[in-house]
Every structure is written in structure tokens, then in C-alpha cells.
Chains A and B, each alone.
Chain A
């Protein structure tokens, strides 16, 4: 069939996949993981700060957080990445040269922080008022009550949403390619795209896609795991453990 052989040539050219595989593993995967992990860490830290500011009782702290969130959630990611990545590079050039990586990570983190801030805020706000009241009645200050009692509970509740945001970051890390990367800095998408252009078929991009799935699909299952644990509760004491045993027995019966 003509159509099949065309599709086969376009997507399943094993030769070009095999040729790009080592680079994909050693350069692309590593760089994607570095970009994603760095912006997950930085984005989560910034997001927590944004959330705490947004929940502040002082208006002059709340407002900047809200404006920040509106801006970075409202702009297309690619536009933010170009504005920050290219726009700030004449300034940062003095510190780390023309390397686009730090600014790319910064841009990704700033975007992520807007979303993560909202996730944390909704989680923290969902914690019953009585929790802070009880902490305060024991003599905790507002700050330590939030830090030790309210925020840990709020964060637990939004773990699924948080991991979803991490998945989005893994995918968005491909956008730093627009900042122009050195050969050694290329991430999965860029390597796939370069190889696709050279070979005249899309098989290397398909391979890049598979690599993305290898990262994101386990994360999706992590979301489901957290979600399940949040709904069913974490087994901790004897009675809880017993519940787990009973459930496992029930599952065994089904098998």
C-alpha cells in the first residue's frame, strides 16, 4: 500500500531513530530532566511564596501576588520565555555569558510559580478554620500555626494537582529551544527536530515523543496514587494497617 509505506517512511524509519538514539539519551534526556527538575524546584519554592503572600492579611502583600499570578498565567508560555530569555540576556551575559539555560529555567519557573501558587493557595484555604484556631489557642503565633499546622495539610491535599503541574513543566521545557541552544544543551525536542530535518522524516520526533511519555506517564500514575491515598487515607496505626490487609485480601479474592 502506498499510504502505509509513506506513513512507515515518515514515522517508523528505524535507521534514523537508531542513529539519534545515543544523543537523545545522553544529551536530550539529560537536558530535559535538568530543565524540568530545576524549574520544578524553583517554581515550587516561588509558588509557595506567591501563595503565602496571596493569603496574607496585609493588602500590600496580597496585591503584588495577585498581579503576578494574573500576568504569568495570562501570557502564552512561549512569549514569556522569549521576553525573559532574550530580553534579560544582555544583562545576565555579564554573569554567565550567552548561555540561555539559566534564563530559560527562570522563565519556566516564573510561569510555573503562578500556577503552583494558585494550587497551594486553594489547598491552604481549604483547611478548616478550626485548625488555625486550635493552633493559636495552644499559643502558636499566626506564622507558626500556618507553617506547622495549616500549610502541611493544605499541601497534602493538592499533591495531585501539583504533580499535574510538574508534568506540564516537563513538556513546556521544550520551549527553551526558541532561545537558541548549543549542541550540548539541546533537549529532547530539539534533538528530535534537528534529526528530523536532516533525515527528511519525523521518526526522530516520534522517538522524542516516546521519551517524553517515559517521563510523564509514570508521573500521571503518581497523581493517581496520591489521589487514591488522599481519598482513602494513609494507613498508619494498627487499625489502618488492618484495613489495608483486608483490602488486599479482597483484591486477592477477585484475582
Chain B
């Protein structure tokens, strides 16, 4: 059992997690090819960590998966079904995303941040949405912050709210884009613990991270990206102790 997990929060939740399969994704900004054929397969309920140097295309990969940026080629399958053809808004309702800078809505209270998409997208009534939102806040240990504005919360608390906001939508997959990179060191552990709990609870997760400890302990598989491709992937044990490619070995020697 991962020591990083807290095991006191989201573990009890049941999630309708789906498998995620990315094949041959290519994406360019003008002439700058950011993704050059990325493959990644995450079985339902498993966690994949994506590591790699800055500018390797990790964050862009996440945005291609939920079509915040439309990929130029390749395919994304959610629960075995291709999702690049349908309505992107519908797709994003099935995929939760957590950002480096939290991106909570500062003009809404913590509670309203969670109820807004529940009301407007899931079309829940005010009471239903409120109950569901408070339930999620309880799971991340912040129900006492419901009436506060995000600006009055610590970074760690804001990120927990952002995770609760995404989870409230009952996603089938969660994407984490360097979720702890903007946090003060003492706040990182709490957020990583919550993410580990979520992984244990059976959520399908793709986690872009610089936290090698998290990748080693929590991930079922680790993918190393460089220059827009997955250079090497495998179980954490293999990636961190028996890396094959020189580029991965060089990267690990720099970050570990």
C-alpha cells in the first residue's frame, strides 16, 4: 500500500471509471510540432504518470485528450469508444481536469464553484447541487470552507476544491496537469495524498507531474515524454531502476 495515501477521504466513493487509450496523437502549433505520435493506454481504474522535461508536450497531451486543443491526427478512446468525432463539450463532461494554477472561479464562493457546473451542465436543482457539492467538499476535508472565496484559501485548499469541483461531475477519467507545481512545499503532501486516495479508490488517472516520489509509489505505469513522443514507459519499478533509454536515464539523474 502506498505510504503517500491518506486513506481517510475519497476511498469510500465508487467511481464509474473508464479506460483511456491514446494512439498516434499529433499536434502542432503552426510549424511547431508539439506532439509527434503519442501512444498511451490506461486501463479503467489505473493511474498513469507522465514525466519528462519542460516543453516535452506533457500538458499539451492532456489538453489533446479532452480536446481543449484539437489534435491534428491520431485517436482518443474513452471506454473503448473513439471520442474525437463527437461534441467536445459532451466529452469534457466525462473527463475531469485539475490545473497547475487551480483556476477556481474567484468571483464565486467555494460552494458555488462546485454547484455552478452541477446546475448549468448537469441541470441539477439548487438543493440537489448544494448537497452534492457539500458531499464532495466533505470528501476533500473542506466543508467548513463552503462559504469562503477561493482567494481566502491556501493554495493547497484551493487545489483540493478544484479536485472536488472536477469529481462532483462524476468523471470517468481525471487529468492532473502539474497539480502541485504551484504549491508551497508544505502544502504539496496533502494534495498528493488526496490524489493517491483517488487512485486507490479506482479512478482512472493521467497525472503529469514532477513529483517522482508520487510517480514511483502511486502510478501503475509511468510514461517518459521527450520532444513530443513517449520515449519509454513501463511500471515504476522498471522506469526508475532499470531505465533503458539514455534520455530517460539522463532526465532521472537530473531530477532524482
Spell out A's residues near B (CB within 8 Å). Answer: 128, 130-131, 133-141, 144, 148-149, 152-153, 156, 233-234, 236-240
Contact = CB atoms under 8 A, between A and B. Distances in A.
A131 B106 CA distance: 9
A136 B92 contact: yes
Nearest to A141: B89
Interface string B116-156: 11001100000000000000000000000101110110000
- The size class of the interface chain B forms with chain A is 20 to 34
B92 A139 contact: yes
Given A133-B103, A237-B145, A238-B148, 18 more contacts: A130-B101, A131-B105, A134-B103, A134-B162, A136-B68, A137-B68, A137-B95, A138-B93, A138-B121, A139-B89, A140-B120, A148-B120, A152-B107, A236-B152, A237-B148, A237-B149, A240-B149, A240-B152
Nearest to A239: B152
**Which secondary structure characterizes the binding site on chain A?**
helix
Given A133-B103, A153-B107, A138 B152 contact: no
B233 interface: no
8 contacts: A128-B103, A133-B103, A134-B103, A137-B95, A138-B92, A139-B92, A236-B148, A237-B149
Q: Which has the most chain B C-beta neighbours within 10 Å: A130, A137, A140, A236?
A: A137
B66 interface: yes
Interface string B43-75: 000000000000000000000001010000000
A133 B99 contact: yes
Contact of A133 (B68, B106, B121): B68
A138 B149 contact: no
Given A131-B103, A138-B92, A141-B89, A236 B68 contact: no
A70 to B, nearest CB: 30
Contacts of A153: 105-107
B169 A149 contact: no
Contacts of A140: 89, 117, 120-121
Given A130-B103, A133-B103, A144-B120, A239 B148 contact: yes
B93 A233 contact: no
A130 B101 CA distance: 8
A140 to B, nearest CB: 7
B207 to A, nearest CB: 15
A172 to B, nearest CB: 31
Q: Which has the most chain A C-beta neighbours within 10 Å: B103, B105, B106, B148?
A: B103
Contacts of A144: 120
Interface in B91-118: 92-93, 95-97, 99, 101, 103-107, 109, 116-117
A134 B92 CA distance: 10
A37 to B, nearest CB: 26
B165 interface: yes
B34 interface: no
Contacts of A238: 147-148
A235 to B, nearest CB: 9
A148 B107 CA distance: 10
A236 B117 contact: no
Given A153-B106, A233-B151, A138 B99 contact: no
B54 to A, nearest CB: 18
4 nearest A-B residue pairs (beta carbon): A134-B103, A139-B93, A237-B148, A137-B97
A56 B99 CA distance: 25
Nearest to A137: B97
